[in-house]
Amino acid sequence: MRSVVARGLLSALAVVGIAGCTANPLSRPPPAPAVAMSPPPPAETKAEERRDRYIERALEQAPPAGLQGRREIGVGTGFFIAPDKVLTNYHVAGQCAAVTVGNGVEGKEVHAKLVAGSPSDDLAVIETAAPMAEPARFETALYTETGNNLAVVGYPEHGLVVLEAELRPISAREQDLVSARPRYFFHGSVHPGNSGSPVLDDTGAVVGVVVAKVDTVAVYQRSGHVVDDIGFAIANRTVFDFLRRSAIAYLPARPSRGLTPDQLLKKANGFVRQVGCWR
């Protein structure tokens, strides 16, 4: 937990934590008498089946080799910036006895090691050999962005099993995106587990890294105002400075057409991964 002052009102900031997702399978309601209810529609039945398979896959996952006896204390998000390097927050991976990276869908996790970290910037790079990763590209000309068609892709915790990356639309003011501040705030829903998620424009280029969210309760206690769904992202210029100091290359974005949300999520699934912290 750390506090920053952002535009007066946003004075209480809660770091988007790396609290692990607890596997709490949902119980089915008791069957109702046949005379009282008609059978559920096919769509509802299929949704329940998908949910059950989703939970079963999570419960069947075994710790990666070499981590028996360790406990996964939390998860966050990261994304490949090179075939063997993943960018995330320092508070996600910087102080772990062991780190793993996986895409959640196949249930496979691979070991990773910290190769660069900056607690002050809250950025870290971990190195791993995960297959089928397509590195993300960074937008380097933010003055062209409006901030209205942005999205966060990551693994937000809902108190349920999290296996698949989720896309959440957000918005940010253009003047905040291009300002000289190391972080900017955005409007949109973020949760623990989103730490380290990329902020993407509608072409899939990275324009920031999620780092924190406003502590709604603390803001209300201090100001009497309800401020919700405000997150903070590390600006690209801060990311670039960190990577240059660490002698780690990154890929600039190429001109590309805008994508639909489904297309954007599909593209992001090529580089976004869940990051596990083990003790």
The pLDDT value given to residue 276: 93
**Greatest C-alpha distance within the chain:** 70
pLDDT digits (tens, 9 = 90+) for 12-27: 444 433 333 333 333 3
Q: Which amino acid is at 159?
A: G
Q: What are phi and psi of 237, to 5 degrees?
A: -60, -35
**Window from 58-67, 93-102, 149-158, 206-215 with minimum mean pLDDT:** 58-67
Bigger pLDDT: 226 vs 178? 178
Q: What are phi and psi of 61, to 5 degrees?
A: -65, 130
pLDDT digits (tens, 9 = 90+) for 96-105: 999 999 886 6
Residue 200 contacts residue 169 (beta carbons within 8 Å): no
Per CATH, which fold does 135-271 belong to? Thrombin, subunit H (2.40.10)
pTM of the model: 0.79
Mean of the per-residue pLDDT values of the chain: 80
pLDDT digits (tens, 9 = 90+) for 182-241: 999 999 988 899 999 999 999 999 999 999 987 766 666 787 776 678 999 999 999 999
Task: Give the whole-angstrom CA distance, residue 70 versus residue 261.
Answer: 37
Q: Which amino acid is at 66?
A: G
Task: Give the whole-angstrom CA distance, residue 182 versus residue 109.
Answer: 32
Is the model's pLDDT at 112 over the cut of 60?
yes
Task: Give the whole-angstrom CA distance, residue 131 versus residue 153.
Answer: 20
The pLDDT value given to residue 15: 41
Domain coordinates in residue numbering, the chain: 72-128, 135-271
The pLDDT value given to residue 20: 36
Q: What SS3 class is residue 206? A: strand
Residues found in the chain: 279
Per CATH, which fold does 72-128 belong to? Thrombin, subunit H (2.40.10)
Does the fold of domain 135-271 match that of domain 72-128? yes
Residues contacting residue 165 through CB under 8 Å, at least 6 positions apart: 77, 103, 104, 153, 154, 155, 265, 268, 269, 272, 274
> What is the arithmetic mean of pLDDT over 260-277?
95
Q: Please give the C-alpha separations between residue 95 and each of 18, 114, 142, 251, in angstroms, as whole numbers.
A: 12, 9, 32, 27
